[in-house]
Structure 1
Protein backbone atom coordinates (compact mmCIF):
# COMPACT_ATOMS: atom_id res chain seq x y z
CA UNK A 1 0.00 0.00 0.00
CA UNK A 2 1.50 3.33 -1.04
CA UNK A 3 2.04 5.72 1.83
CA UNK A 4 0.13 8.97 2.21
CA UNK A 5 1.95 12.17 1.19
CA UNK A 6 3.79 13.40 4.26
CA UNK A 7 1.65 15.69 6.36
CA UNK A 8 -1.48 15.39 4.20
CA UNK A 9 -4.63 13.32 3.95
CA UNK A 10 -4.90 12.45 0.25
CA UNK A 11 -7.91 10.91 -1.53
CA UNK A 12 -8.17 10.20 -5.23
CA UNK A 13 -10.01 8.29 -7.94
CA UNK A 14 -9.84 8.21 -11.70
CA UNK A 15 -11.93 6.79 -14.50
CA UNK A 16 -13.46 7.20 -17.94
CA UNK A 17 -16.63 9.18 -18.60
CA UNK A 18 -19.25 9.10 -21.36
CA UNK A 19 -18.25 5.82 -22.96
CA UNK A 20 -21.05 5.21 -25.46
CA UNK A 21 -21.77 1.66 -26.55
CA UNK A 22 -24.63 0.05 -28.48
CA UNK A 23 -25.36 -3.68 -28.48
CA UNK A 24 -27.57 -5.78 -30.76
CA UNK A 25 -28.74 -9.28 -29.85
CA UNK A 26 -30.51 -11.61 -32.29
CA UNK A 27 -32.65 -14.55 -31.22
CA UNK A 28 -33.19 -17.78 -33.15
CA UNK A 29 -36.39 -16.46 -34.71
CA UNK A 30 -34.55 -13.49 -36.22
CA UNK A 31 -35.86 -10.80 -33.87
CA UNK A 32 -33.33 -8.13 -32.90
CA UNK A 33 -32.94 -6.56 -29.45
CA UNK A 34 -31.10 -3.27 -29.08
CA UNK A 35 -29.68 -1.08 -26.30
CA UNK A 36 -27.55 2.06 -26.21
CA UNK A 37 -25.67 2.87 -23.02
CA UNK A 38 -23.63 5.84 -21.78
CA UNK A 39 -21.14 4.38 -19.32
CA UNK A 40 -19.20 6.24 -16.62
CA UNK A 41 -16.43 4.48 -14.70
CA UNK A 42 -14.62 5.60 -11.54
CA UNK A 43 -12.00 3.48 -9.77
CA UNK A 44 -10.62 3.86 -6.27
CA UNK A 45 -7.20 2.27 -6.35
CA UNK A 46 -3.81 2.17 -4.72
CA UNK A 47 -1.97 4.42 -7.16
CA UNK A 48 -0.80 7.26 -4.91
CA UNK A 49 2.72 6.95 -6.33
CA UNK A 50 1.45 8.22 -9.68
CA UNK A 51 0.46 11.49 -8.01
CA UNK A 52 3.38 12.05 -5.65
CA UNK A 53 6.35 10.04 -7.00
CA UNK A 54 6.01 10.19 -10.80
CA UNK A 55 5.40 6.42 -10.90
CA UNK A 56 2.53 5.21 -13.15
CA UNK A 57 3.09 1.48 -12.62
CA UNK A 58 -0.13 1.07 -10.57
CA UNK A 59 -2.47 3.03 -12.87
CA UNK A 60 -5.21 1.40 -14.93
CA UNK A 61 -5.25 3.57 -18.05
CA UNK A 62 -8.58 5.23 -18.75
CA UNK A 63 -8.29 4.14 -22.39
CA UNK A 64 -8.14 0.55 -21.12
CA UNK A 65 -11.34 1.18 -19.18
CA UNK A 66 -13.02 2.39 -22.37
CA UNK A 67 -11.90 -0.68 -24.31
CA UNK A 68 -13.09 -2.93 -21.49
CA UNK A 69 -16.64 -1.63 -21.98
CA UNK A 70 -16.67 -2.79 -25.60
CA UNK A 71 -15.05 -6.15 -24.81
CA UNK A 72 -17.51 -6.92 -22.02
CA UNK A 73 -20.43 -5.87 -24.23
CA UNK A 74 -19.18 -8.33 -26.85
CA UNK A 75 -18.89 -11.09 -24.23
CA UNK A 76 -22.58 -10.68 -23.29
CA UNK A 77 -23.90 -13.28 -25.70
CA UNK A 78 -27.34 -13.10 -24.07
CA UNK A 79 -29.36 -9.94 -23.50
CA UNK A 80 -28.55 -8.24 -20.17
CA UNK A 81 -30.10 -5.38 -18.23
CA UNK A 82 -28.25 -2.14 -17.61
CA UNK A 83 -27.86 -3.15 -13.94
CA UNK A 84 -26.37 -6.52 -14.90
CA UNK A 85 -23.88 -4.86 -17.23
CA UNK A 86 -22.84 -2.38 -14.54
CA UNK A 87 -22.26 -5.26 -12.10
CA UNK A 88 -20.26 -7.15 -14.76
CA UNK A 89 -17.95 -4.18 -15.28
CA UNK A 90 -17.54 -3.55 -11.56
CA UNK A 91 -16.68 -7.21 -10.92
CA UNK A 92 -14.05 -7.12 -13.67
CA UNK A 93 -12.27 -4.03 -12.38
CA UNK A 94 -12.26 -5.11 -8.72
CA UNK A 95 -11.15 -8.69 -9.41
CA UNK A 96 -8.76 -8.27 -12.37
CA UNK A 97 -6.66 -5.45 -10.87
CA UNK A 98 -5.22 -6.00 -7.40
CA UNK A 99 -4.73 -2.24 -7.00
CA UNK A 100 -8.46 -1.48 -7.38
CA UNK A 101 -10.42 -1.47 -4.11
CA UNK A 102 -13.73 0.03 -5.31
CA UNK A 103 -15.44 0.38 -8.68
CA UNK A 104 -18.24 2.88 -9.27
CA UNK A 105 -20.20 2.34 -12.47
CA UNK A 106 -22.93 4.72 -13.61
CA UNK A 107 -24.89 3.94 -16.78
CA UNK A 108 -27.71 5.77 -18.54
CA UNK A 109 -29.70 3.77 -21.06
CA UNK A 110 -31.03 5.70 -24.05
CA UNK A 111 -34.77 5.00 -24.48
CA UNK A 112 -34.90 3.10 -27.77
CA UNK A 113 -38.28 1.34 -28.12
CA UNK A 114 -39.48 -1.27 -30.59
CA UNK A 115 -41.59 0.07 -33.44
CA UNK A 116 -45.09 -1.30 -34.06
CA UNK A 117 -46.39 -1.38 -37.64
CA UNK A 118 -50.11 -2.06 -38.13
CA UNK A 119 -50.23 -3.22 -34.53
CA UNK A 120 -47.40 -5.73 -34.99
CA UNK A 121 -43.95 -5.48 -33.35
CA UNK A 122 -41.25 -4.89 -35.94
CA UNK A 123 -38.46 -7.45 -35.94
CA UNK A 124 -35.62 -4.93 -36.19
CA UNK A 125 -37.17 -1.43 -36.10
CA UNK A 126 -36.73 0.95 -33.15
CA UNK A 127 -37.69 4.55 -32.29
CA UNK A 128 -36.43 6.90 -29.63
CA UNK A 129 -38.69 7.22 -26.58
CA UNK A 130 -38.55 9.73 -23.72
CA UNK A 131 -37.53 8.75 -20.18
CA UNK A 132 -34.16 7.12 -19.49
CA UNK A 133 -33.30 4.09 -17.38
CA UNK A 134 -30.33 4.68 -15.04
CA UNK A 135 -28.21 2.41 -12.87
CA UNK A 136 -25.36 2.83 -10.40
CA UNK A 137 -23.21 0.07 -8.94
CA UNK A 138 -20.67 0.65 -6.19
CA UNK A 139 -18.69 -2.53 -5.60
CA UNK A 140 -15.88 -3.23 -3.15
CA UNK A 141 -13.26 -5.89 -3.74
CA UNK A 142 -14.77 -7.79 -0.79
CA UNK A 143 -18.04 -8.21 -2.71
CA UNK A 144 -20.01 -5.61 -0.74
CA UNK A 145 -22.35 -3.91 -3.19
CA UNK A 146 -24.61 -0.89 -3.36
CA UNK A 147 -27.08 -1.08 -6.25
CA UNK A 148 -29.33 1.77 -7.36
CA UNK A 149 -31.72 2.01 -10.31
CA UNK A 150 -33.67 4.97 -11.53
CA UNK A 151 -35.57 6.86 -14.19
CA UNK A 152 -34.91 10.33 -15.64
CA UNK A 153 -37.20 12.54 -17.70
CA UNK A 154 -40.49 10.82 -16.85
CA UNK A 155 -42.89 13.55 -17.99
CA UNK A 156 -46.36 13.36 -16.41
CA UNK A 157 -49.35 15.69 -16.75
CA UNK A 158 -53.01 15.71 -15.77
CA UNK A 159 -55.44 18.46 -16.77
CA UNK A 160 -57.58 18.39 -13.62
CA UNK A 161 -57.87 16.86 -10.13
CA UNK A 162 -55.17 19.11 -8.69
CA UNK A 163 -55.16 22.12 -6.39
CA UNK A 164 -53.05 24.17 -3.99
CA UNK A 165 -54.54 25.86 -0.93
CA UNK A 166 -53.77 26.86 2.64
CA UNK A 167 -50.12 27.81 2.19
CA UNK A 168 -48.39 30.72 3.93
CA UNK A 169 -49.55 34.10 2.67
CA UNK A 170 -47.62 37.31 3.29
CA UNK A 171 -46.95 40.66 1.65
CA UNK A 172 -45.05 38.98 -1.19
CA UNK A 173 -47.67 36.33 -2.03
CA UNK A 174 -49.45 36.79 -5.37
CA UNK A 175 -50.44 33.21 -6.16
CA UNK A 176 -54.21 32.65 -5.82
CA UNK A 177 -55.45 29.54 -4.04
CA UNK A 178 -57.23 26.99 -6.20
CA UNK A 179 -58.83 23.54 -6.17
CA UNK A 180 -58.70 23.27 -9.95
CA UNK A 181 -55.45 23.44 -11.86
CA UNK A 182 -53.27 21.51 -14.28
CA UNK A 183 -50.48 19.43 -12.73
CA UNK A 184 -47.33 18.65 -14.71
CA UNK A 185 -43.87 17.45 -13.73
CA UNK A 186 -40.80 15.64 -15.01
CA UNK A 187 -39.92 12.93 -12.52
CA UNK A 188 -36.36 11.96 -11.65
CA UNK A 189 -36.40 8.93 -9.38
CA UNK A 190 -33.75 6.63 -7.95
CA UNK A 191 -34.30 3.61 -5.75
CA UNK A 192 -31.73 1.63 -3.81
CA UNK A 193 -32.01 -2.12 -3.49
CA UNK A 194 -31.48 -3.89 -0.20
CA UNK A 195 -28.90 -6.34 -1.62
CA UNK A 196 -25.61 -5.90 0.23
CA UNK A 197 -23.39 -8.53 -1.41
CA UNK A 198 -22.85 -9.93 -4.88
CA UNK A 199 -24.12 -13.32 -3.74
CA UNK A 200 -27.50 -11.84 -2.76
CA UNK A 201 -28.22 -10.15 -6.11
CA UNK A 202 -30.93 -12.02 -8.10
CA UNK A 203 -29.54 -13.98 -11.04
CA UNK A 204 -32.80 -14.25 -12.97
CA UNK A 205 -32.29 -12.90 -16.53
CA UNK A 206 -33.77 -9.45 -17.06
CA UNK A 207 -34.86 -9.26 -13.42
CA UNK A 208 -33.88 -5.60 -13.13
CA UNK A 209 -35.40 -4.62 -16.46
CA UNK A 210 -38.72 -6.07 -15.31
CA UNK A 211 -38.39 -4.41 -11.92
CA UNK A 212 -37.62 -1.05 -13.56
CA UNK A 213 -40.80 -1.31 -15.65
CA UNK A 214 -42.85 -2.32 -12.59
CA UNK A 215 -41.54 0.55 -10.44
CA UNK A 216 -42.11 3.05 -13.24
CA UNK A 217 -45.67 1.78 -13.69
CA UNK A 218 -46.32 2.07 -9.96
CA UNK A 219 -45.09 5.68 -9.94
CA UNK A 220 -47.26 6.56 -12.93
CA UNK A 221 -50.37 4.78 -11.62
CA UNK A 222 -50.10 6.54 -8.26
CA UNK A 223 -49.70 9.94 -9.90
CA UNK A 224 -52.80 9.57 -12.08
CA UNK A 225 -55.13 7.39 -10.02
CA UNK A 226 -57.86 5.19 -11.56
CA UNK A 227 -58.51 5.83 -15.30
CA UNK A 228 -62.08 7.11 -14.91
CA UNK A 229 -62.15 9.13 -11.69
CA UNK A 230 -58.43 9.84 -11.19
CA UNK A 231 -57.17 10.99 -7.78
CA UNK A 232 -57.09 14.49 -6.30
CA UNK A 233 -53.68 16.03 -5.62
CA UNK A 234 -53.64 18.76 -2.92
CA UNK A 235 -49.96 19.48 -3.67
CA UNK A 236 -46.97 18.11 -5.55
CA UNK A 237 -45.50 17.34 -2.13
CA UNK A 238 -48.37 15.04 -1.18
CA UNK A 239 -48.37 13.30 -4.55
CA UNK A 240 -44.61 12.76 -4.35
CA UNK A 241 -44.93 11.17 -0.90
CA UNK A 242 -47.74 8.85 -2.00
CA UNK A 243 -45.69 7.75 -5.03
CA UNK A 244 -42.64 6.99 -2.89
CA UNK A 245 -44.67 5.16 -0.23
CA UNK A 246 -46.41 3.03 -2.86
CA UNK A 247 -43.07 1.83 -4.24
CA UNK A 248 -41.72 0.85 -0.79
CA UNK A 249 -44.98 -0.89 0.11
CA UNK A 250 -45.03 -2.92 -3.09
CA UNK A 251 -41.35 -3.89 -3.44
CA UNK A 252 -39.80 -5.23 -0.22
CA UNK A 253 -36.32 -5.51 -1.76
CA UNK A 254 -36.18 -1.73 -2.31
CA UNK A 255 -34.84 -0.04 0.81
CA UNK A 256 -35.15 3.63 -0.17
CA UNK A 257 -36.33 5.91 -2.96
CA UNK A 258 -35.58 9.52 -3.90
CA UNK A 259 -37.93 11.60 -6.03
CA UNK A 260 -37.40 14.98 -7.66
CA UNK A 261 -40.57 16.48 -9.15
CA UNK A 262 -40.35 20.05 -10.46
CA UNK A 263 -43.72 21.76 -10.72
CA UNK A 264 -43.86 22.64 -14.44
CA UNK A 265 -46.33 25.49 -14.69
CA UNK A 266 -49.25 25.96 -17.04
CA UNK A 267 -50.48 29.46 -16.24
CA UNK A 268 -54.12 30.46 -16.80
CA UNK A 269 -54.50 32.92 -19.68
CA UNK A 270 -56.63 35.95 -18.77
CA UNK A 271 -56.31 38.71 -21.38
CA UNK A 272 -57.49 42.25 -20.68
CA UNK A 273 -56.55 45.86 -21.34
CA UNK A 274 -57.60 49.21 -19.99
CA UNK A 275 -60.62 49.30 -22.30
CA UNK A 276 -61.69 45.68 -22.09
CA UNK A 277 -61.42 43.58 -18.93
CA UNK A 278 -62.41 40.33 -20.69
CA UNK A 279 -60.66 40.01 -24.06
CA UNK A 280 -60.19 36.36 -23.05
CA UNK A 281 -61.57 35.04 -19.76
CA UNK A 282 -59.97 31.90 -18.40
CA UNK A 283 -62.29 28.93 -17.94
CA UNK A 284 -59.88 26.05 -17.27
CA UNK A 285 -59.16 25.84 -20.99
CA UNK A 286 -56.33 28.07 -22.29
CA UNK A 287 -52.91 28.06 -20.60
CA UNK A 288 -49.45 29.52 -21.07
CA UNK A 289 -46.87 26.70 -20.72
CA UNK A 290 -43.67 27.73 -18.95
CA UNK A 291 -40.87 25.84 -17.24
CA UNK A 292 -38.79 28.82 -16.11
CA UNK A 293 -38.94 29.53 -13.28
CA UNK A 294 -40.48 26.36 -11.86
CA UNK A 295 -41.08 24.96 -8.42
CA UNK A 296 -38.52 22.45 -7.12
CA UNK A 297 -39.88 19.66 -4.93
CA UNK A 298 -37.80 16.66 -3.86
CA UNK A 299 -37.73 14.16 -1.03
CA UNK A 300 -36.54 10.69 -0.08
CA UNK A 301 -38.27 7.89 1.76
CA UNK A 302 -36.51 4.93 3.32
CA UNK A 303 -37.13 2.04 5.65
CA UNK A 304 -35.75 2.48 9.18
CA UNK A 305 -33.04 -0.09 8.53
CA UNK A 306 -31.98 1.48 5.21
CA UNK A 307 -28.42 2.81 4.89
CA UNK A 308 -29.17 5.81 2.67
Structure 2
Protein backbone atom coordinates (compact mmCIF):
# COMPACT_ATOMS: atom_id res chain seq x y z
CA UNK A 1 0.00 0.00 0.00
CA UNK A 2 1.50 3.27 -1.07
CA UNK A 3 2.05 5.84 1.64
CA UNK A 4 0.70 9.41 1.49
CA UNK A 5 3.21 12.27 1.66
CA UNK A 6 1.77 15.64 2.71
CA UNK A 7 4.01 18.66 2.19
CA UNK A 8 3.06 21.98 3.70
CA UNK A 9 5.11 24.65 1.98
CA UNK A 10 5.63 28.21 3.15
CA UNK A 11 6.05 31.05 0.69
CA UNK A 12 5.23 34.73 0.54
CA UNK A 13 6.29 38.30 -0.06
CA UNK A 14 8.30 40.67 2.15
CA UNK A 15 9.19 44.38 2.14
CA UNK A 16 5.87 45.58 0.79
CA UNK A 17 5.99 49.29 1.55
CA UNK A 18 2.58 50.78 2.31
CA UNK A 19 1.76 54.44 3.00
CA UNK A 20 -1.80 55.28 4.06
CA UNK A 21 -3.36 58.69 4.73
CA UNK A 22 -6.67 59.12 6.49
CA UNK A 23 -7.75 62.69 5.79
CA UNK A 24 -9.61 64.21 8.72
CA UNK A 25 -10.45 67.87 9.38
CA UNK A 26 -8.23 69.78 11.80
CA UNK A 27 -10.93 69.84 14.49
CA UNK A 28 -11.03 66.03 14.34
CA UNK A 29 -7.29 65.67 14.90
CA UNK A 30 -6.02 66.35 11.40
CA UNK A 31 -4.67 63.89 8.88
CA UNK A 32 -3.34 60.56 10.11
CA UNK A 33 -0.40 59.06 8.23
CA UNK A 34 1.25 55.64 8.59
CA UNK A 35 4.07 53.94 6.71
CA UNK A 36 4.30 50.17 7.05
CA UNK A 37 6.71 47.54 5.80
CA UNK A 38 4.59 44.42 5.39
CA UNK A 39 5.67 40.80 5.02
CA UNK A 40 3.18 38.01 4.32
CA UNK A 41 3.97 34.30 4.55
CA UNK A 42 1.35 31.66 3.70
CA UNK A 43 1.37 27.93 4.40
CA UNK A 44 -0.30 25.74 1.79
CA UNK A 45 -0.41 22.18 0.51
CA UNK A 46 1.81 22.75 -2.54
CA UNK A 47 3.48 19.34 -3.00
CA UNK A 48 2.81 19.32 -6.79
CA UNK A 49 4.94 22.41 -7.28
CA UNK A 50 7.91 20.37 -5.98
CA UNK A 51 7.18 17.01 -7.58
CA UNK A 52 5.43 17.63 -10.89
CA UNK A 53 6.06 21.22 -11.99
CA UNK A 54 2.49 22.13 -11.09
CA UNK A 55 2.31 25.64 -9.58
CA UNK A 56 -1.47 25.81 -9.33
CA UNK A 57 -1.39 25.82 -5.51
CA UNK A 58 1.15 28.68 -5.28
CA UNK A 59 -0.08 32.19 -4.46
CA UNK A 60 2.08 34.47 -6.58
CA UNK A 61 4.15 37.09 -4.78
CA UNK A 62 2.67 39.68 -7.14
CA UNK A 63 -0.81 38.71 -5.94
CA UNK A 64 0.27 39.03 -2.31
CA UNK A 65 1.84 42.45 -2.90
CA UNK A 66 -1.20 43.81 -4.73
CA UNK A 67 -3.56 42.39 -2.11
CA UNK A 68 -1.73 44.36 0.58
CA UNK A 69 -2.22 47.59 -1.38
CA UNK A 70 -5.89 46.90 -2.13
CA UNK A 71 -6.72 46.00 1.47
CA UNK A 72 -4.98 49.15 2.71
CA UNK A 73 -7.09 51.25 0.33
CA UNK A 74 -10.26 49.49 1.47
CA UNK A 75 -9.60 50.55 5.09
CA UNK A 76 -11.59 53.76 4.87
CA UNK A 77 -11.66 53.98 8.68
CA UNK A 78 -8.45 54.23 10.70
CA UNK A 79 -7.05 50.83 11.66
CA UNK A 80 -4.04 49.83 13.74
CA UNK A 81 -1.38 47.72 12.10
CA UNK A 82 -2.45 44.76 14.27
CA UNK A 83 -5.98 45.06 12.90
CA UNK A 84 -4.62 45.38 9.36
CA UNK A 85 -2.51 42.25 9.83
CA UNK A 86 -5.61 40.35 10.99
CA UNK A 87 -7.50 41.59 7.91
CA UNK A 88 -4.74 40.27 5.66
CA UNK A 89 -4.51 36.96 7.50
CA UNK A 90 -8.25 36.35 7.27
CA UNK A 91 -8.23 37.23 3.57
CA UNK A 92 -5.50 34.79 2.57
CA UNK A 93 -6.86 31.90 4.67
CA UNK A 94 -10.44 32.36 3.43
CA UNK A 95 -9.88 33.17 -0.27
CA UNK A 96 -7.48 30.32 -1.07
CA UNK A 97 -8.69 26.78 -0.22
CA UNK A 98 -5.14 25.41 -0.13
CA UNK A 99 -3.85 28.03 2.35
CA UNK A 100 -4.07 26.78 5.94
CA UNK A 101 -2.18 29.58 7.67
CA UNK A 102 -1.00 33.14 7.05
CA UNK A 103 1.64 34.99 9.04
CA UNK A 104 1.80 38.77 8.67
CA UNK A 105 4.68 40.86 10.03
CA UNK A 106 4.49 44.66 9.99
CA UNK A 107 7.06 47.25 11.04
CA UNK A 108 5.81 50.81 11.31
CA UNK A 109 8.08 53.71 10.42
CA UNK A 110 7.65 56.23 13.26
CA UNK A 111 6.15 59.32 11.65
CA UNK A 112 5.06 61.73 14.40
CA UNK A 113 2.84 64.79 14.17
CA UNK A 114 4.78 68.07 14.41
CA UNK A 115 3.78 71.06 16.49
CA UNK A 116 3.97 74.64 15.17
CA UNK A 117 3.79 77.46 17.73
CA UNK A 118 2.82 74.90 20.32
CA UNK A 119 -0.13 73.52 18.33
CA UNK A 120 -0.31 70.12 16.60
CA UNK A 121 -0.10 70.57 12.85
CA UNK A 122 -3.08 69.21 10.91
CA UNK A 123 -0.97 67.49 8.22
CA UNK A 124 2.71 67.88 9.14
CA UNK A 125 4.87 64.98 10.36
CA UNK A 126 8.48 64.31 11.36
CA UNK A 127 10.35 61.04 11.52
CA UNK A 128 10.93 59.59 14.99
CA UNK A 129 13.24 56.77 16.04
CA UNK A 130 11.68 53.77 17.79
CA UNK A 131 9.54 51.37 15.74
CA UNK A 132 6.24 49.69 16.47
CA UNK A 133 6.20 46.06 15.30
CA UNK A 134 3.71 43.23 15.14
CA UNK A 135 3.60 39.57 14.10
CA UNK A 136 0.13 38.10 13.54
CA UNK A 137 -0.63 34.48 12.64
CA UNK A 138 -4.11 33.50 11.43
CA UNK A 139 -5.13 29.89 10.70
CA UNK A 140 -8.02 28.74 8.55
CA UNK A 141 -9.66 27.41 11.72
CA UNK A 142 -9.75 30.95 13.11
CA UNK A 143 -6.89 30.37 15.54
CA UNK A 144 -5.09 33.63 16.19
CA UNK A 145 -1.74 34.79 17.62
CA UNK A 146 -0.86 38.48 18.02
CA UNK A 147 2.61 39.52 19.20
CA UNK A 148 3.51 43.21 19.23
CA UNK A 149 6.53 45.15 20.34
CA UNK A 150 8.83 48.12 20.25
CA UNK A 151 12.32 48.26 18.75
CA UNK A 152 15.09 50.84 18.97
CA UNK A 153 13.65 52.78 21.92
CA UNK A 154 16.67 54.86 22.98
CA UNK A 155 16.71 56.19 26.57
CA UNK A 156 19.38 58.14 28.51
CA UNK A 157 19.73 59.69 31.93
CA UNK A 158 22.73 61.68 33.13
CA UNK A 159 22.63 60.61 36.78
CA UNK A 160 20.87 58.26 39.22
CA UNK A 161 22.71 55.22 37.93
CA UNK A 162 25.51 53.11 39.35
CA UNK A 163 27.15 49.70 39.29
CA UNK A 164 28.67 48.20 42.43
CA UNK A 165 29.36 44.84 44.03
CA UNK A 166 29.99 42.97 40.79
CA UNK A 167 32.44 40.07 40.62
CA UNK A 168 36.08 41.13 40.35
CA UNK A 169 39.11 39.18 39.22
CA UNK A 170 42.57 39.94 37.86
CA UNK A 171 41.07 40.96 34.50
CA UNK A 172 38.70 43.56 35.99
CA UNK A 173 39.61 47.22 35.54
CA UNK A 174 36.16 48.79 35.85
CA UNK A 175 35.83 50.85 39.07
CA UNK A 176 32.67 50.66 41.15
CA UNK A 177 30.47 53.76 41.04
CA UNK A 178 27.19 55.20 42.23
CA UNK A 179 27.29 58.06 39.75
CA UNK A 180 27.29 57.48 36.02
CA UNK A 181 25.43 58.23 32.79
CA UNK A 182 23.33 55.37 31.49
CA UNK A 183 22.14 55.19 27.88
CA UNK A 184 20.43 52.17 26.39
CA UNK A 185 18.20 50.92 23.61
CA UNK A 186 15.08 48.98 24.58
CA UNK A 187 13.44 46.16 22.65
CA UNK A 188 10.26 44.65 24.09
CA UNK A 189 7.69 42.11 22.88
CA UNK A 190 4.29 41.27 24.34
CA UNK A 191 1.43 38.95 23.39
CA UNK A 192 -2.24 39.86 23.34
CA UNK A 193 -4.64 37.29 24.85
CA UNK A 194 -6.84 36.79 21.78
CA UNK A 195 -6.48 33.15 20.70
CA UNK A 196 -9.29 33.02 18.14
CA UNK A 197 -10.82 35.45 15.67
CA UNK A 198 -14.09 35.21 17.61
CA UNK A 199 -12.39 36.65 20.72
CA UNK A 200 -11.57 39.97 19.07
CA UNK A 201 -13.77 42.68 20.63
CA UNK A 202 -16.78 43.81 18.58
CA UNK A 203 -15.72 47.35 19.40
CA UNK A 204 -12.21 47.82 17.95
CA UNK A 205 -9.48 47.25 20.52
CA UNK A 206 -7.06 50.15 20.32
CA UNK A 207 -3.77 48.34 19.75
CA UNK A 208 -2.07 51.63 18.87
CA UNK A 209 -3.07 53.23 22.16
CA UNK A 210 -1.87 50.19 24.10
CA UNK A 211 1.49 50.44 22.32
CA UNK A 212 1.74 54.09 23.38
CA UNK A 213 0.76 53.13 26.93
CA UNK A 214 3.44 50.42 27.13
CA UNK A 215 6.06 52.80 25.76
CA UNK A 216 5.16 55.38 28.40
CA UNK A 217 5.34 52.84 31.25
CA UNK A 218 8.76 51.67 30.06
CA UNK A 219 10.06 55.25 30.01
CA UNK A 220 8.45 56.28 33.31
CA UNK A 221 9.99 53.27 35.07
CA UNK A 222 13.41 53.94 33.55
CA UNK A 223 13.48 57.66 34.45
CA UNK A 224 11.44 57.88 37.66
CA UNK A 225 9.82 61.13 38.90
CA UNK A 226 10.68 64.20 36.81
CA UNK A 227 12.29 66.12 39.68
CA UNK A 228 14.39 63.44 41.42
CA UNK A 229 14.39 60.42 39.10
CA UNK A 230 14.97 56.90 40.40
CA UNK A 231 18.25 55.16 41.17
CA UNK A 232 19.32 52.27 38.96
CA UNK A 233 21.78 49.89 40.65
CA UNK A 234 22.26 47.95 37.40
CA UNK A 235 20.89 47.63 33.90
CA UNK A 236 19.59 44.19 34.89
CA UNK A 237 17.51 45.53 37.77
CA UNK A 238 16.12 48.37 35.67
CA UNK A 239 15.17 45.89 32.95
CA UNK A 240 13.33 43.71 35.45
CA UNK A 241 11.42 46.66 36.93
CA UNK A 242 10.39 47.93 33.48
CA UNK A 243 9.01 44.54 32.42
CA UNK A 244 7.31 43.96 35.78
CA UNK A 245 5.59 47.35 35.70
CA UNK A 246 4.20 46.75 32.21
CA UNK A 247 2.80 43.35 33.22
CA UNK A 248 1.35 44.81 36.43
CA UNK A 249 -0.36 47.67 34.62
CA UNK A 250 -1.79 45.59 31.78
CA UNK A 251 -2.13 42.13 33.32
CA UNK A 252 -5.53 41.49 31.72
CA UNK A 253 -4.48 42.57 28.22
CA UNK A 254 -0.85 41.53 27.76
CA UNK A 255 0.76 38.13 28.29
CA UNK A 256 4.39 37.51 29.30
CA UNK A 257 6.67 40.20 27.98
CA UNK A 258 10.17 39.82 26.59
CA UNK A 259 12.24 42.91 27.25
CA UNK A 260 15.93 43.55 26.86
CA UNK A 261 18.32 46.48 26.84
CA UNK A 262 21.28 46.94 24.56
Shorter-chain TM band:
over 0.9
- Partner-residue secondary structure (3-state), 1:259: strand
Give CA deviations for 1:174-208 in whole Å, capped at 9, x if unaligned: 21111111111011111111111111123434610
Structure index of larger Rg: 1
Is 1:99 aligned to 2:98, yes or no? yes
Distance 1:253 1:41, change over 3 A: same
- Partner-residue secondary structure (3-state), 1:246: helix
- 1-side partners of 2:11 and 2:108: how far apart? 22
Is 1:258 aligned to 2:258, yes or no? yes
Shift of 1:170: 1.4
Shift of 1:138: 0.9
In structure 1, runs of 5+ residues without a counterpart are: 263-308
Higher helix proportion, which one? Answer: 2
- Partner-residue secondary structure (3-state), 1:13: strand
Shift of 1:165: 1.2
CA contact (8 A) 2:194 2:200 kept: yes
Count residues in correspondence.
257
What residue in structure 1 maps to residue 5 of structure 2? 4
Give CA deviations for 1:48-79 in whole Å, capped at 9, x if unaligned: 21122211011111110000000000100011
- 1-side partners of 2:228 and 2:52: how far apart? 69
Is 1:26 aligned to 2:27, yes or no? no
What residue in structure 1 maps to residue 223 of structure 2? 224
- 1-side partners of 2:155 and 2:216: how far apart? 12
What residue in structure 2 maps to residue 15 of structure 1? 12
Per mean C-alpha deviation after superposition, the further-off stretch among 230-239 and 193-202 is 193-202
What residue in structure 2 maps to residue 285 of structure 1? none
Higher RCO (C-alpha under 8 Å, 6+ residues apart): 2
CA contact (8 A) 1:132 1:153 kept: yes
In structure 2, runs of 5+ residues without a counterpart are: none
Per mean C-alpha deviation after superposition, the further-off stretch among 239-248 and 252-261 is 252-261
> TM (normalized to structure 2)?
0.94
